[in-house]
Amino acid sequence: MTSIVFWGWHPRYWPFLARFFLAAGAALLLTIWPLPPSWALYRPEWCLLVVWHHAINRPDRASLLGPWLVGLLLDVLSGGPLGLYALLLPVVSAMAVRCAAFFDIFAIWQQALLLVPMVLLYEISSFWLHALLGQPSALRWQALFCSVLVWWPLEWLLQPLWSQSRQDKHLGS
């Protein structure tokens, strides 16, 4: 029962969770930061990047509930259908967890290229779900490029902040 209620919300996960929610809060703020309408299409998918970054760096700690909560907030903030990003972000997290070991062998600039199919999938699913629910939307391919471009500085800045314990991340400590 505990394992159902507390999906990985053990005290040893707390530093990771604190870090994740801080970053996610910043990502949400960046997502709703007012931009001129013509620039809005170029806004990187900050929430996706944060979820992805945390999941591939600590696949043993990454949860689905965290991305789910962030997705729910993003849904409310963006005024779209409730549950849309709450559906997509956990999927992103799960895919990142699965790919994490594979990602480790690449340099950061190569990782950014591997991000392309992920963001593309995210954009297409979001567009498709909007259309399915009868909401106006557009395929934001500009966001694809911007997300990938932002990945480099983001990873370069955030990578050193992970502690040394990162080495045994695949051991599930």
Partner 1 sequence: MSGRPIFVKRRPLGARLFMVTATCAVLLVVDSTHVNPGGVLGRIRPALDGLVQPFYVVIDAPFRMLRHVGLYGRRQQSLVQENQRLHQENLILKSQAQRLAALEAENGRLRRLDRQIQHMDRKAVLASILMVSLDPFHHEVILNVGQQQLIQQGSVVLDERGVMGQVIAVSSRTSRALLISDADHALPVEVLRNGTHALAQGTGDMGRLSIQYLPLTTDIRQGDLLVTSGLGGRFRRGDRVAVVQQVRREPGARFLEVDAAPVAYLSRSREVIVLPPYDPLVGYGAG
Binding site for partner 1 (CB under 8 A): 2-4, 7-8, 10, 12-13, 28-29, 31-35, 37, 40-41, 43, 64-65, 68, 71-73, 75-84, 86-87, 90-91, 94, 97-98, 129, 133-134, 136-138, 168, 171-173
| Structural element, H or E, at residue 21 | helix 14-32
Q: Which of 128, 156, 148 is nearest to 48 (CA)?
A: 148
Give the total residue count for the chain.
173
Q: How far is the CB of 75 from partner 1 (least distance, A)?
A: 8
CA–CA dist 27, 43 (Å, integer):
11
Question: Are 31 and 47 contacting, i.e. CB atoms less than 8 angstroms apart?
Answer: yes
Q: How far is the CB of 163 from partner 1 (least distance, A)?
A: 14
- Return the number of the residue (36 or 160) whose C-beta is nearest partner 1: 36
User: CA 115, 121, 122 angle in degrees (round to 5)?
Assistant: 90
- Return the number of the residue (31 or 57) whose C-beta is nearest partner 1: 31
- Return the number of the residue (76 or 149) whose C-beta is nearest partner 1: 76
